[in-house]
Amino acid sequence: MEKDGKAYIKGLRIGWDSGEGGLKLPDEFWRESNLFQADVLKDWLYLIECEYENAVARMRKELAASRRAAEQIRQLKQKVLRDD
């Protein structure tokens, strides 16, 4: 445990090839009270939801940029064909 009463724990798993995640919290977490577990899990859910929303926003931004680039290429092709 760190000086301020906070600690990092193992438990998150990631499949780099599959893009899947998992959770296996250590026994020390499950030995805590139900109130403690619920409080910590709720905090994590909120923070993970925020990270998820940020990732989706970045993905949408990338998609919009790709669509704009594709439209610009389409317009350029049409212009070249008209100029021939």
CA distances from 26 to 10, 23, 37 (A): 7, 10, 12
Q: Tens digits of per-residue pLDDT, 7-49?
A: 888 888 999 999 999 999 999 999 999 999 999 999 999 999 9
Residue 50 has pLDDT above 90, yes or no: yes
Domain ranges of the chain: 12-83
- For 23-54, the three-class secondary structure string (H helix, E strand, C coil) is ECCCHHHHCCCHHHHHHHHHHHHHHHHHHHHH
Q: How confident is the model at residue 2 (pLDDT cuts 50, 70, 90)?
A: low
Residue 53 has pLDDT above 90, yes or no: yes
Q: What is the pTM of this model?
A: 0.69
